[in-house]
Amino acid sequence: MNGSDRALRVPLIVGLTTIVAVLAWLGVRDADDRVGANLAGTVALSAAAFACWRVSRAAPTPPVRGFWLLWALTAACLVLSTIANMLHGAPGIPLYEAIPTLLALGLAMLAFRHVPLAPRTRADGARMLLDGIAVAVAGTVFFTYVLLNAVPEGTSAGTLIAAAAVGVGCLLALVVFGKAAVSPEGSVDPVALAILTIGPLAGLVAVMLVLGGTETGMLLLLVLGYPLVGMGICAAAYRQSRVLHVQPPKRPRWSIGGPLQFIAVTGTAVLVIIVSARELDGRGRAVVVGAVLIAAIMVARQLLSLRENRLALRGVRHQQTELERLALSDYLTGLPNRTGFTLALTDRLDRGRPATVLLIDIDDFKMVNDTLGPSAADQLLARLAERLRRCAHGDRESVARLGGDEFAVLMPSGDPAGIEAAAARFQHAVGRPLPVGEQRFLLHASIGVMVAEPGDTADEVLRNADIAMYAAKSAGKASWVRFEPRMRKDMTGHARLAGELHDAIQGGQLRLLYQPVYDLVTGRMHGAEALVRWQHPERGFVSPVDFIPVAERSGLIVPLGGWVLREACTQLARWRDSLKEGAVEAINVNVAVRQLREAGFVDEVAAVLSDTGLTPRNLVLEVTESSVADGPQVAETLRDLHEMGVRLALDDFGTGQSSLSLLRAFPVDVLKLDKSFVDGIADGADRGRLAVAAAVAQLAEHLELKAVAEGIESQDQLERLRDMGYRYGQGYLMARPLPADECAALMTAEPLAVAATGGRHP
């Protein structure tokens, strides 16, 4: 217990001692002694004023300090009331006693300004005012009718007015105290607040006693009433001092407005019934007027609540719409997101309206993302989204972002010409250069188109559009493909194939063939490319063209490629062992981008080389142009391999996004001209392809790279290619992919006449 607690016990003890002393003294002496009777109250209330002042001094926060200071003044005013009562010799309440009492009530109510009565909205304030008025009116009606009827003859008008005023004041004070006691938060202690209600309650009893006119009652009031109020205030102050530094717990909010109204309305209603039963006199009329007033107030209060409820409801609805909007839209682009799009699509399908979905996926966006970094890539996507939105036709087509670099367009019809035009329009929109910061980016999109059939669900439509989009990607990207049911079969076929491929790798169904690469000038075998074959137990031979893409998509390419690398290197080591100088120097192994993305790929290559006793010079890894452009991680892997001494060949050169800067940026050693260019060479009909073939040879010469022509099938092709500057070649004309022993036999065979002399194959 702290110091202020101890100090506060003094007024309590002084007050109680005085009360006991006065009671004893009155018992012994004159029970009619007004001075004596008032003395206990005076002392108790003075003690209360002191206690409140002490608490206000010790209070940590301004509201609590203000509250108790006003209560100190309240108690002081009541001391004045007791003194006024002492001076008044006659029975009843003198007006000059009522004035300090009313002042005290006013100050007490004012003190509650420091206690948050409830969350302080204007409506709360208005409601409280209405409650107060209702209670005041009810109180007035009560006093004017019931009590005045019972007041003995000869009671002075002054006493009547004073009693009514104090009574109504006490009622009002009860409303205020009650509200404060149930306020959900506040710094003044709730127990202290509850104790303080003794004041107005005692006031009401006092008024009734006074109006009852019994002098004994009066004395009882003086002897017990004022001291009781004083001690109550003391106790409240004491209680507050004990919990001064403790944050009062939050109280559940409940309203006493309801019960108060109920008492006011029913009380008045009973009076109205009684009055109406009798003849109406002046007071009766007052009752009726009061009743009407209270009814009006209640109506106003209800209207107020109604309005408030409506406002709250509107707020909730607004929030709900806002939340829905956020849940259905994409944070980056503001377009509808996948959920929003699915809802719109479902809505159309449910109404049986035609719907077509274009699923737009940006090609090689991963590369853009890696080059630009995530925030600039986001900027690019936001720009692209804006462009797609503008590209959409008014409100007939709607664009959404399904996630990442995937967008979707919902179109209202399925007519083929319209779809083709739309696909071309969106492809064109993606294909124009997009500026981001200083740079301009050129993007391409693969588009899958799905025309919804009656009875389709949104999920099916999106899944099929996705399948079509993948078909577009496999068809060489930057294109659009319309979904056909067989594609789904292909997809499931692929899934089954992937499962079987898994067993094939483990079960030894794979083997390697080796296709010789010839020196077109000397006619000697220069190297060999390892090409994987799958002998399926039921399907028979499965082409790598069919299963390599499946392996890439499923990730199986990683173990598969690992097996090929080890097997090919082992084979070269065997050849070099048995054929010595006669064996080719290096073996070419195809590597998929998925393998290059594996963090441990460089280590794997090093391990295979060291296990097989080869040097990095003995290995050429064939990669495609698109894998070189995959991103920084793959680029680093390629540089590490090159530094190690492994050579890199760009396979199928000329078919991808061949870019000269790519050749400068990456450590390439060999260019392999794609077969499609070789095909067009012989008859010379395709001048464009001819020009590319020639340009690639020149490029290789300038950059000091080896140029290899793939897929040579005729003598004519070979000669033209050699004339263009191709030193090396590979094709059925010289040799098909062969088993290891057949390939070994060719290594030691005579040089190919077909190459060196331009004559026929021996």
Residue 651 binding Mg ion, by CB under 5 A? yes
The closest of 203, 320, 289, 302 to 261, measured between CA atoms, is: 302
* 684-723 footprint of ligand C2E as x/- string (CB under 6 A): --------------------------xxxx----------
Q: Residue 426, Cα to own-chain centre: how many angstroms?
A: 31
- Report whether 426 contacts 478 (CB < 8 A): no
Which listed residue (527, 561, 631, 654) binds ligand C2E by CB under 6 A? 561
Residue 592 binding ligand C2E, by CB under 6 A? yes
Which listed residue (590, 637, 658, 717) binds ligand C2E by CB under 6 A? 590
- The one segment of 147-155, 415-423, 470-478, 726-734 that binds ligand C2E by CB under 6 A: 726-734
Residue 652 binding Mg ion, by CB under 5 A? yes
Please state, in angstroms and rounded to a whole number, the distance separating the CA atoms of residues 705 and 667. Answer: 10
- Report whether 291 contacts 269 (CB < 8 A): yes
What is the closest distance, in whole angstroms, from the C-beta atom of residue 474 to ligand C2E in the complex?
A: 14
Please report, as a single letter, which amino acid is at residue 496: R
The entry of Mg ion, ligand C2E, none near residue 199 (CB within 5 to 8 angstroms by kind) is: none
- Report whether 721 contacts 730 (CB < 8 A): no
Distances (CA, A) of 450 to 358, 460, 467, 485: 7, 10, 9, 10
Query: Six-digit token pair at 15?
Result: 């007050």
What is the closest distance, in whole angstroms, from the C-beta atom of residue 432 to Mg ion in the complex?
A: 32
Q: Which is nearer to ligand C2E, 255 or 474 (CB)?
A: 474
What is the closest distance, in whole angstroms, from the C-beta atom of residue 384 to ligand C2E in the complex?
A: 32
- The one segment of 29-37, 430-438, 552-560, 618-626 that binds Mg ion by CB under 5 A: 618-626
Each as own residue / partner, the long-range contacts of residues 603-608 (CB below 8 Å, 24 or more positions apart, any chain) are 604/562, 604/565, 605/565, 605/641, 605/644, 605/646, 606/644, 608/565, 608/566, 608/569
The entry of ligand C2E, Mg ion, none near residue 356 (CB within 5 to 8 angstroms by kind) is: none
Which listed residue (545, 599, 660, 685) binds ligand C2E by CB under 6 A? 545
Query: Six-digit token pair at 277?
Result: 């039963």
Which listed residue (149, 247, 375, 543) binds ligand C2E by CB under 6 A? 543
Phi, then psi, of 759 in degrees rounded to 5? -90, -160
Please state, in angstroms and rounded to a whole number, the distance separating the CA atoms of residues 62 and 80. Answer: 27
Spell out the SS3 assignment of 433-481.
CEEECCEEECCCEEEEEEECCCCCCHHHHHHHHHHHHHHHHHCCCCCEE
Q: Which is nearer to ligand C2E, 142 or 514 (CB)?
A: 514
Which listed residue (330, 466, 625, 651) binds ligand C2E by CB under 6 A? 651
The entry of ligand C2E, Mg ion, none near residue 262 (CB within 5 to 8 angstroms by kind) is: none
Please state, in angstroms and rounded to a whole number, the distance separating the CA atoms of residues 542 and 534. Answer: 5
Segment (H or E) for 627: helix 625-628
What is the closest distance, in whole angstroms, from the C-beta atom of residue 758 to ligand C2E in the complex?
A: 18
Helices (H) and strands (E) in the chain, counts: 31, 16
Phi, then psi, of 232 in degrees rounded to 5? -60, -50
Name the DSSP letter for residue 356.
E
- The one segment of 8-16, 146-154, 282-290, 728-736 that binds ligand C2E by CB under 6 A: 728-736
Residue 737 binding ligand C2E, by CB under 6 A? yes
- The one segment of 33-41, 343-351, 557-565, 588-596 that binds Mg ion by CB under 5 A: 588-596
The entry of Mg ion, ligand C2E, none near residue 711 (CB within 5 to 8 angstroms by kind) is: ligand C2E
| Residues that contact ligand C2E, how many (by CB under 6 A) | 23
Q: Which is nearer to Mg ion, 114 or 672 (CB)?
A: 672
Name the DSSP letter for residue 540.
E
The entry of Mg ion, ligand C2E, none near residue 531 (CB within 5 to 8 angstroms by kind) is: ligand C2E
Residue 531 binding ligand C2E, by CB under 6 A? yes
Residue 567 binding Mg ion, by CB under 5 A? no
Which listed residue (91, 94, 544, 725) binds ligand C2E by CB under 6 A? 544
The entry of Mg ion, ligand C2E, none near residue 515 (CB within 5 to 8 angstroms by kind) is: ligand C2E
Residue 446 binding ligand C2E, by CB under 6 A? no
The secondary structure of 588-609 as a DSSP string is EEE--HHHHHSTTHHHHHHHHH
| Residues that contact Mg ion, how many (by CB under 5 A) | 5
Residue 625 binding Mg ion, by CB under 5 A? no
The secondary structure of 630-681 as a DSSP string is S-HHHHHHHHHHHHHT-EEEEEEETSS---HHHHHHS---EEEE-HHHHHTT
Which residues inside 619-648 make contact with ligand C2E, applying CB under 6 A?
Answer: 622
Q: Which is nearer to ligand C2E, 387 or 477 (CB)?
A: 477
Please state, in angstroms and rounded to a whole number, the distance separating the CA atoms of residues 19 and 40. Answer: 5
- Report whether 532 contacts 566 (CB < 8 A): no
Residues that bind Mg ion (CB under 5 A): 590, 622, 651-652, 710
Residues that bind ligand C2E (CB under 6 A): 515, 531-532, 543-545, 548, 561, 564, 590-592, 622, 651-652, 710-713, 730-732, 737
